[in-house]
Chains A and B, each alone.
Chain A
Amino acid sequence: MYGKGLLTGLGITLREFFRKKATERYPEVRPKLTERFRGGKLALEPEKCIACGLCSLNCPNGSIRLVTVKDEAGKRKLSEYEYDAGACMYCNLCIENCPQKCIRWDKKFDFAGYDRKHLIIDCIAVANAKKAAEREGGAETHE
């Protein structure tokens, strides 16, 4: 039929008119991140960590720096754990190789700062602060 293509076109645009839109209103509405999303900072659970150092050894860019100490029983313990997001290429090797599954991505990807210093994160301090906030407020805090 002559003009069938025109009607098809009109049908497509009308269908699109009523469909859900692709636009995300970003800062107001946060994107839904997938389970395997790699981004944000490394979130460490210091109690679970056995200080094996596999994450640091596996890191291609050397963006994880950890310092271990031996306690009275001669057991290795974590004393410092720094993650440099500026050097990280989000390859996920650290997380995949962690035998205790004690690191994961926190997926809070918007942490741009004015200095490279801000990209170096003291993961133990972050974990402690989060725990303290949970103990005080009872509710989960976002920062």
Chain B
Amino acid sequence: MPNDDILLRIGASLRELFAGVLPGPDAVDVAMYFVALIACVALIFTNAVILILAERKVAGFMQSRLGPHRLGPYGMFQTVADVIKLLTKEDYRPQGVDKWVWAMAPVVLFVPPVMVYAVLPFGKNLVPVDLNIGIFYFVAVSSVATIAFLMAGWGSNNKYSVIGGMRAVAQMVSYEIPLVFSILGVVMLTGSLQTSVIVEKQSGIWFILLQPVAFVIYLIAAAAETNRMPFDLVEGESEIIAGPFTEYSGMRWAMFFLAEYASLFAVSAIASTLFLGGWHGPSFLPGWVWFLGKTYVMIFVFMWVRWTFPRLRVDQLMALCWKYLIPVSLANILITGIGIFAYRAMGG
């Protein structure tokens, strides 16, 4: 009963509204894409506010604390207060920075996560842009974030920032490979890169059951891609203060934070798309509720991991990637291939 979905109904009525005002179906399509973009950006901003509070709550709960609890019921307005504080801070630019590169970095970092939201299958017929190379697009776009880290590190004209930026590049480029290889297992099973098709093929069985190894590799590589603990060497405060973020303050610094949570949501959403069956679930709730629920479960897993494990050393990080994750993911691809071949040979 997809037509009962409230979001689809809103979309349809908006389309009718635009069709009445705008000339031609192409203009309506452009307008609808624009609406989707605004919805995605709104989702990112509200989500960041919720996730920052959730992160602090989870951190507190796992350390036998309560987390923020003073401002509003259960500390719900803590992030709002933090945002107001950040917005009213002085926009301070250190003297030695490379003006344009330094100023552009937070914005550039914010772009890839926003672009990734375009292919997230929020529900049946609820994909902002249903590209037939959706997963490939996700991989391609999310790797652009590396440049923003390097820009922030180089532009800051600070030794800690440069070290952090270089670490970001090394880490993100390395972990891109196991990430892609783990996704490849799922792509081999479905024979499609389109996110909606991948979800559709999971109506019977979720791919986490067929590809458990790929799921674990994806989790590890995604945590490294988003520079979250235990892979937050980029901003390892005990070694390099805050890495590329050292010279930023106020809203510019908050942009980095926002981007981190936007990409956290993005990788979690991709995980629920690829492995957890996306919008599939008992039909008493609409599909997008299931999708968001699974995504939040994934986000909780990432937070859980973050507040459990200590940070890796740089050489350990590289060893984990090149010596373990890549061979294991290659073996996974091989076994998946053999499995598919055997399945076909049995006449399945």
Contacts and interface: CB of A to CB of B under 8 A. Distances in A.
B99 interface: no
Interface in B14-63: 58, 60-63
A14 to B, nearest CB: 7
A126 B62 CA distance: 45
A22 to B, nearest CB: 4
A25 B62 CA distance: 17
A109 interface: no
A115 B34 CA distance: 66
B136 interface: no
Interface stretch (B64-72, B288-296, B330-338): B64-72
B309 A16 contact: no
Contact of B64 (A9, A14, A19, A25): A19
A7 to B, nearest CB: 10
Contacts of A22: 64-65
Contacts of A17: 58, 61-62, 304
B308 A23 contact: no
Contacts of A87: none
Contact of A10 (B58, B60, B66, B305): B305
A143 B308 CA distance: 46
A17 to B, nearest CB: 5
B307 A23 contact: no
Given A6-B309, A9-B309, A25-B69, A16 B304 contact: no
Interface string A56-91: 000000000000000000000000000000000000
A40 B65 CA distance: 27
Contacts of A6: 309
Contacts of B304: 10, 13-14, 17
Contact of A9 (B58, B63, B308): B308
Interface in B304-323: 304-305, 307-309
Nearest to A10: B308
Contact of A13 (B65, B66, B69, B307): B307
B69 A16 contact: no
A130 B308 CA distance: 52
B62 A13 contact: yes
A9 B62 CA distance: 11
A13 B230 CA distance: 15
A47 to B, nearest CB: 45
A16 B307 CA distance: 11
A23 B66 contact: yes
Given A19-B64, A23-B64, A23-B65, 5 more contacts: A10-B304, A17-B61, A21-B65, A22-B65, A23-B69
27 contacts: A6-B309, A9-B308, A10-B304, A10-B305, A10-B308, A12-B308, A13-B304, A13-B307, A13-B308, A14-B62, A14-B304, A16-B61, A16-B63, A16-B64, A17-B61, A17-B62, A17-B304, A19-B64, A21-B60, A21-B64, A21-B65, A22-B64, A23-B60, A23-B64, A23-B66, A25-B66, A25-B69
